[in-house]
Structure 1
Amino acid sequence: MIDEILNQIKQYDTIIIHRHVRPDPDALGSQGGLSCLIKDNFPQKNVYIVGEEAADLRFLVTMDTVDEDVYEEALVIVCDTANRERISDNRYRLGRHLLKIDHHPIVDSYGDLEWVDPQASSTSEMICSIYQRHPELTLSQNAARLLFAGIVGDTGRFQFSNVTSATFRAASELVRLPFDRQSFFNQLYERSLAQVRLNGYVLEHFTLTEEGVGYVKLTQPLIHAYHLTAADASSLVNSFSNVAHLKAWVLFSEEGKVIRARIRSKAPSINQLAEKYHGGGHPMASGATVSSWEEADQLIADLRALCAK
């Protein structure tokens, strides 16, 4: 599959890389890392990355502006996105050929060519394996920094159960390049004073049920009172993850007419539950969307039932 993807890349002069909406470090790391890898080894090609900007992750990479007609003869690659409805920028359909590179369990099969590996810790680890299989390729410091960011983000700094020996081998390859890891970690985990204040609210007000489910509800007026956005609030999902007897937890953040649910787990698989509520993801880390606080309560009830088993 890696060789086939490289063959596709070699055939096209224009390559446009997408990823999912509301990007996390793996979405941006795999998207930006793949872009760098292609540019470093095929400097004559036009390579673009597109999607909405993530204000708190702009230190990783910023997006390009691409006119619609550029897609006509382009190879389009979508990274780290399990289903089409979550692809950032619907113009991905306009390219001549579409590739999907992802590590989520398949919930939506799309693209002319799919490389999906649910055993990989991250899509960034998969991109790194292209370099590992073809050591004749050049890997720049910036490509290494971005791919390392993606692996760190999706493994929780190598703490989660998705980490394998292949993950550590990939990380080992990347840290051979002398990018500033200390600066990267400082920026990745930096929080504004307002976020720290809201974090205090979360710690004081989250609920822990007898089944081991933790949850907290952050309304839009509450978030705005701290001069923050729903995305800022969602980044606090792991604030109480180290509480004893906690099996799974969810942080709700109200955003306009919908409520985002960030769901995490230490025990039961939660991605099928997330799919029930217009979301999806990994067995231990998923996202969902509900339309009301009543529906949020139903999600909590389902999560409690799941943990009770």
Structure 2
Amino acid sequence: MEQSDILKAITTHPTIIIHRHIHPDFDAIGSQIALKKTLQQSFPEKKVFAMGGAEKSLEWIGSMDMIEDDQYRDALVIVCDTAETKRISDQRCLMGETLVKIDHHSDGESYGDLRWIDPSYSSVCEMLGDLFFSYPETFKLTNEAASALYAGIMGDTGMLKNGMAGERTLRIVSQIKKFAFKSDRIHRLMKKSGTDFSKWKPFVSYRAQVTEQGIASLRVTKEMLVNLRLDSSEAASLIHALTAYVPARIWVLFIEEDGKIRVRIRSKTIAVNEIAKNYGGGGHRLAAGALLSSWEETEEMIEELGEKRMR
């Protein structure tokens, strides 16, 4: 999916409705609000809405709209940062005239009339920042939009410290920071909103296992999800706590869901996407994912990661 196709869809629809996933994180809300504010500024004649369930802890980035079903009739619907349709917040997204998927996750459902999926980006906010700065004659970025982009990128890159931020990420962040917003304020609000994973330190420190090769793994079963009062998507954030509190060279989070084992892998220097591909997954060089069929396969993956680490 070329950026120009997205641009054409945006310019030809009078109504644009932006969605994201349930249980949103900084990148989901950030990309949604940044896109909404930028389109409103760039195309004042268009109707632009952000839809989805309210998330009070992230309302400092931006709030959601309320619209009637008939607004979808001739609308362009853009879904940000959502791998599968079942995880889109507000399923009315399927009622639009044209559906666009913008995502940086490679291991998802191929839905939508138009798709821009690129796992080389750290976040959807980085993707949108690249789009906006590539077409400055079309997109007029506002301070509020820049702030939302910054929050999303900081969230998915762990404040640029989790190995997800590349040269392009840093360039886009540098361009974003030229706008009038206070990055230190965003950092404080992000910590208050849940970026501080210290509450999970006892759990991950007790449950994590580390091999002689420096592979740290954390297994989260269905029973644990119930006890922790988390769904599988919320539990995915435990990868940040694992990397923060367990010394290792590679970190692997296994989450049991729907009879499968979803995997998140992180590293600071070692290419882990190659191992993920062996299991039908993929992703970034230092941040990848896969879907396994059994707990036995998790042992095989850890062994392969250990061999990769020792090469």
**What is the TM-score with the length of structure 2 in the denominator?**
0.78
Contact 1:125 1:151 in 2 (8 A): yes
Partner of 1:99: 100
Distance 1:221 1:41 in 2: 45
Residues 286, 25 of structure 1: CA spacing in aligned structure 2 closer, same or farther, 3 A cutoff? farther
Distance 2:225 2:8 in 1: 48
How far the C-alpha of 1:39 sits from its partner, in A, is: 0.8
Structure 2 counterpart of 1:250, one-letter code: L
Partner of 2:302: 304
Which stretch shows the higher mean deviation, 131-140 or 230-239? 230-239
Structure 2 counterpart of 1:303, one-letter code: M
Contact 2:120 2:284 in 1 (8 A): no
The SS at the match of 1:237 is: helix
Distance 2:140 2:193 in 1: 34
1:223 aligns to 2:228 (yes or no): yes
Partner of 1:76: 77
Contact 1:251 1:261 in 2 (8 A): yes
- RCO higher in 1 or 2 (8 Å CA, sep ≥ 6)? 2
> Paired residue for 2:240, among 217, 238, 242?
238
Distance 1:239 1:131 in 2: 32
Contact 2:150 2:176 in 1 (8 A): yes
The SS at the match of 1:101 is: strand
Residue-pair matches, total: 296
Distance 1:260 1:36 in 2: 38
> Paired residue for 2:151, among 149, 152, 160?
149
Residues 95, 230 of structure 1: CA spacing in aligned structure 2 closer, same or farther, 3 A cutoff? closer
Distance 2:117 2:228 in 1: 37
Structure 1 counterpart of 2:134, one-letter code: R
1:247 aligns to 2:245 (yes or no): no
Residues 28, 250 of structure 1: CA spacing in aligned structure 2 closer, same or farther, 3 A cutoff? same
The SS at the match of 2:24 is: coil
The SS at the match of 1:9 is: helix
How far the C-alpha of 1:260 sits from its partner, in A, is: 8.4
Residues 98, 222 of structure 1: CA spacing in aligned structure 2 closer, same or farther, 3 A cutoff? closer
Partner of 1:15: 16
Structure 2 counterpart of 1:164, one-letter code: G
Percent identity over the alignment is: 32
Can you list the C-alpha shifts for 1:107-146, whole angstroms capped at 9, x where unaligned?
A: 5433222223333232212211232123233211110011
Distance 1:165 1:187 in 2: 26
Structure 1 counterpart of 2:176, one-letter code: L
Contact 1:237 1:262 in 2 (8 A): no
Distance 2:98 2:234 in 1: 35
Residues 68, 281 of structure 1: CA spacing in aligned structure 2 closer, same or farther, 3 A cutoff? farther
Distance 1:251 1:199 in 2: 17
Can you list the C-alpha shifts for 1:214-255, whole angstroms capped at 9, x where unaligned?
A: 21547256425xxx887776544322425444422216489x
How far the C-alpha of 1:261 sits from its partner, in A, is: 5.3
Which stretch shows the higher mean deviation, 232-241 or 31-40? 232-241
Contact 2:164 2:286 in 1 (8 A): no
Contact 1:119 1:162 in 2 (8 A): no
Structure 2 counterpart of 1:307, one-letter code: L
Distance 1:105 1:63 in 2: 27
Residues 220, 98 of structure 1: CA spacing in aligned structure 2 closer, same or farther, 3 A cutoff? closer
Contact 2:238 2:253 in 1 (8 A): no
Residues 162, 220 of structure 1: CA spacing in aligned structure 2 closer, same or farther, 3 A cutoff? closer
Residues 68, 282 of structure 1: CA spacing in aligned structure 2 closer, same or farther, 3 A cutoff? farther
**What is the TM-score with the length of structure 1 in the denominator?**
0.79
Partner of 2:65: 64
Residues 259, 114 of structure 1: CA spacing in aligned structure 2 closer, same or farther, 3 A cutoff? closer
In the alignment, structure 2 segments of 5+ residues that lack a partner are none
Residues 100, 163 of structure 1: CA spacing in aligned structure 2 closer, same or farther, 3 A cutoff? same
Can you list the C-alpha shifts for 1:8-45, whole angstroms capped at 9, x where unaligned?
A: 22222211112233322222221211111101122232
Can you list the C-alpha shifts for 1:133-191, whole angstroms capped at 9, x where unaligned?
A: 23233211110011111222222222344433322221111111121211111111237
Partner of 1:26: 27
How far the C-alpha of 1:101 sits from its partner, in A, is: 2.0
Distance 1:206 1:106 in 2: 25
Residues 90, 275 of structure 1: CA spacing in aligned structure 2 closer, same or farther, 3 A cutoff? farther
Partner of 1:134: 135
- Which residues of 2 match residues 166-245 of structure 1 at below 5 A? 166-190=168-192, 196-211=198-213, 212-217=215-220, 219-220=224-225, 222-223=227-228, 234-241=236-243, 243-245=246-248
In the alignment, structure 1 segments of 5+ residues that lack a partner are none
Distance 2:112 2:235 in 1: 33
